[in-house]
Amino acid sequence: MVIILKPRASEQEREHIIKVIKDAGLSPHVLLGEERTVIAVIGDERALQKQPLSALPGVEKAIPILSPYKLVSRDFKKENTVIDVRGIKIGGERIVVIAGPCSVETNHLLSSIAAEIKKGGASILRGGAFKPRSSPYSFQGLGEEGLEYLSEARRLTGLPIITEILDPRDLPMMAKHADILQIGARNMQNFRLLAEVGAQDKPVMLKRGLSATIKEFLLSAEYIMAAGNANVILCERGIRTFETATRNTLDLSAIPVLRKRTHLPIIIDPSHAVGQTDLVPPMAKAAIAAGADGLMIEVHSNPEEAFCDGEQAMLPKDFNQLMDELRKIAAAVGRTL
Ligand code: PEP
Ligand code: MN
């Protein structure tokens, strides 16, 4: 349920409403707006049967949220959420491009890729230090050493960094380095991990599971928000279908569907969706045309020797050329890049 307070509700009235919600064993999530305050009530609302919130002083109306997800829903928050990461705004008018190698390999390689993508206009550097590989014998990532290289690349270029967390036990180490924590597709429904990243304050980018519906995707984002972290970014990265011509099938319609249902920023990862370098540019353009807030693109200066996902990595020069083309698409849909 969402409680909308009267425009002139006093602080005491607000505090009293919050107390009634808590006393009923429910949790209030307060959104202080410029004009009025909205409180989402999360939990089993049967506890409020004896004490209807709509009768309390200061309450204008109580509206049920019909979707199974609440805090991520547009019914709770009408305006788009904009997340500030070291001055980069994700979810605003400007499209944000995240780029970098699939995994962190060497310090020198990472920093040189970072410098190149920065020249092209990317605003955030990606790179996995912990890799979720299908085979236990494939390269698993450099671990903490990789995080240190990411920090070094940030120091040299000023680009904020995003990296994937696989295990909640790594959180303290991750928190020392990462600006955004990535939850990979394979962990979208690792509910304990979602709750842990929800209980800390770094922004989280949640990738859609390989065979997750949009409802399941949003319910996973709800786990993070319900644990207290409002800075959640959604990333569509292709889903598994019967089609084998591409690595996955990019669900572009997820963009307008998510836009209607949630206020959270929407990023598209065409690289993992198509799995082949030459298919990345058309899908990146299509994503911007369809209204994405940003892109995540894999870039490597020597794709043939990349430790993972070389077949989908763009060369820095091709990435930078793509950025020029994307600027035109962004302008056509009233955005900048
Ligand atoms: C990644 O972005 O590094 C990654 C592993 O992607 P996904 O979780 O979407 O497969
Ligand atoms: Mn990859």
| Strands lying side by side in the sheet with 59-63 | 27-32, 37-42, 2-5, 59-63
In residues, how long is the chain?
337
- Tens digit of each residue's pLDDT (9 = 90 or more) over 197-244: 999 999 999 999 999 999 999 999 999 999 999 999 999 999 999 999
Please answer whether residues 235 and 188 qualify as being in contact, where contact means their C-beta atoms are separated by less than 8 angstroms: no
Element (H, E) at 281: helix 280-289
Say yes or no: CB of residue 240 within 6 Å of ligand 1: no
Confidence of residue 33 (pLDDT cuts 50, 70, 90): confident
pLDDT for residue 52: 84
Find the ligand nearest to 309 CA.
2
What would the mean pLDDT of 9-18 be, rounded to a whole number?
94
User: Residue of the nearest CA to atom 10 in ligand 1?
Assistant: 185
Please answer whether residues 140 and 176 qualify as being in contact, where contact means their C-beta atoms are separated by less than 8 angstroms: no
Interatomic CA distance for residues 40 and 83, integer angstroms: 20
- Tens digit of each residue's pLDDT (9 = 90 or more) over 248-289: 999 999 999 999 999 999 999 999 999 999 999 999 999 999
pLDDT-above-70 percentage for the chain: 100
Q: Which atom number of ligand 1 is nearest to the Cα of residue 237? A: 9
Q: Which atom number of ligand 1 is nearest to the Cα of residue 185? A: 8
pTM of the model: 0.95
User: Residue of the nearest CA to atom 6 in ligand 1?
Assistant: 184
Domain positions in the chain are 2-63, 83-332
Say yes or no: CB of residue 128 within 6 Å of ligand 1: yes
pLDDT for residue 251: 98
Find the ligand nearest to 185 CA.
1
Tell me: pLDDT of 93 over 90: yes
List the single range of 23-27, 279-283, 314-318 with lowest mean pLDDT: 23-27
What would the mean pLDDT of 151-161 be, rounded to a whole number?
98
CA distance to 103, 173, 200, 301, per residue, from 170 (Å): 17, 5, 13, 29
pLDDT for residue 178: 98
User: Residue of the nearest CA to atom 8 in ligand 1?
Assistant: 184
Say yes or no: CB of residue 132 within 6 Å of ligand 1: yes
- Give the helix ranges, DSSP H, for 6-92: 11-23
What would the mean pLDDT of 78-87 be, rounded to a whole number?
97
Q: Domain 2-63 is of which CATH architecture?
A: 2-Layer Sandwich (3.30)
DSSP classification of residue 313: P
For 165-225, the three-class secondary structure string (H helix, E strand, C coil) is CCCHHHHHHHHHHCCEEEECHHHCCCHHHHHHHHCCCCCEEEECCCCCCHHHHHHHHHHHH
pLDDT for residue 79: 94
Say yes or no: CB of residue 237 within 6 Å of ligand 1: yes
Say yes or no: CB of residue 207 within 6 Å of ligand 1: yes
What would the mean pLDDT of 64-77 be, rounded to a whole number?
92
Other CB atoms within 10 A of residue 138 CB? 11
Distance 34 CA to ligand 1 centre (A): 38
The Cβ-side half-sphere exposure at 16, using a 13 Å CA radius, reads 14
pLDDT for residue 34: 79
Q: Which atom number of ligand 1 is nearest to the Cα of residue 128? A: 3
Distance 259 CA to ligand 2 centre (A): 26
Of 323, 329, 322, whose CA–CA distance to 288 is shortest? 329
pLDDT for residue 32: 86
Dump strand ranges (E) for the chain: 2-5, 27-32, 37-42, 59-63, 83-85, 88-90, 96-100, 124-126, 161-164, 180-183, 204-207, 232-236, 266-268, 294-298
DSSP classification of residue 228: T
CA distance to 11, 76, 84, per residue, from 28 (Å): 15, 12, 24
Say yes or no: CB of residue 164 within 6 Å of ligand 1: yes
* Fold for the domain defined by 83-332: TIM Barrel (3.20.20)
Confidence of residue 46 (pLDDT cuts 50, 70, 90): confident
Q: Which atom number of ligand 1 is nearest to the Cα of residue 132? A: 5
Find the ligand nearest to 128 CA.
1
Tell me: pLDDT of 35 over 90: no
Distance 270 CA to ligand 2 centre (A): 11
Distance 88 CA to ligand 2 centre (A): 23
pLDDT for residue 124: 98
pLDDT-above-90 percentage for the chain: 92
Q: Name which residue leads in pLDDT, 41 or 50.
A: 41
Element (H, E) at 269: none
Q: Which atom number of ligand 1 is nearest to the Cα of residue 296? A: 2
Alpha-carbon radius of gyration of the chain: 21
Distance 156 CA to ligand 1 centre (A): 25
Interatomic CA distance for residues 227 and 237, integer angstroms: 24
